[in-house]
Amino acid sequence: MTIQSADMNTCDGCGQRTDKLQEITGNEFCAQCTAIARSMQNDPALMQRICALIKSDLSKSAGAPPPCDSVKQRELPEVLDAVRFRTRDRELNTWYVSVSEMEGNPVEIFASTAFDRDQHLQSQISNLTTITRLVSLILRHIVLGEVLTLEKTIKQLHRSSRQKNDLPDMLTRVLSRYVHKPRPSTVENE
């Protein structure tokens, strides 16, 4: 599935901004990273051979995910079963919580209210959207093996924002300062 929008989006792979992204296992990639990801999916032995030829050990790179053969990522299907719960908050507002399931395991969670346009609920809705997006990201990591990154976290915060300077917008701006900073590498005992 190709994702297009009027504004630029960020590739989960290289971090470059582009208007066209391709979705693979819950990640959104530019054309170049899509080609690499597809090669890694379709022929991991070839990728390992190339790494050996160029004397690259991706597993020891700073911030790199574990080698492909140790991570069992699964695709999120286009259609999922879901269970909807109706609940009330302490102010007696009615909320609907839907949990999408895969093989009986939760992989996404959504929450909404019949009063989406109610101004006094906008802050709550924005915060709830943030929570459910981040929880869904964690659930996909737990159940599907989707790799978590700072960039993905920021993307979910950005998509949760309903207006300038709401909580998700503030968190997005603060965490975006760390995107291009080098992350400390882990010391491995050899």
Q: Clarify whether residues 63 and 87 are in a common domain.
A: no
| 104, 167: one domain | yes
In a domain, 42, yes or no: yes
* pLDDT digit string, tens, across residues 16-54: 888 888 888 778 889 999 888 888 888 877 877 887 788
Whether residue 186 is contained in a domain is answered as no
How much of the chain, in percent, has pLDDT values that exceed 70? 79
When divided into structural domains, the chain yields a total of 2
Q: Are residues 17 and 59 in the same domain?
A: yes
| 131 and 58, same domain (yes or no) | no
Residue 189 dihedral angles phi and psi, to the nearest 5°: -85, 125
State whether 95 and 62 are in the same domain. no
What confidence tens digit (pLDDT) does each residue in 107-161 have? 999 988 876 666 767 777 888 889 999 999 999 989 888 888 889 999 999 988 8
Domain end, chosen from 46, 68, 90, is at: 68
Q: What is the pLDDT of residue 58?
A: 63
Residues 115 and 141 in one domain: yes
Residues 31, 114, single domain; the answer is no
Structural domain span for residue 52: 2-68
Nearest residue to 76 (alpha-carbon basis) of 20, 30, 139: 139
- Do 100 and 58 have their domain in common? no
For residue 52, the tally of other CB atoms under 10 A from its CB is 10
pLDDT, one tens digit per residue, over 84-98 is: 999 988 888 888 999
State whether 121 and 156 are in the same domain: yes
Which of 68, 92, 125 terminates a domain? The answer is 68
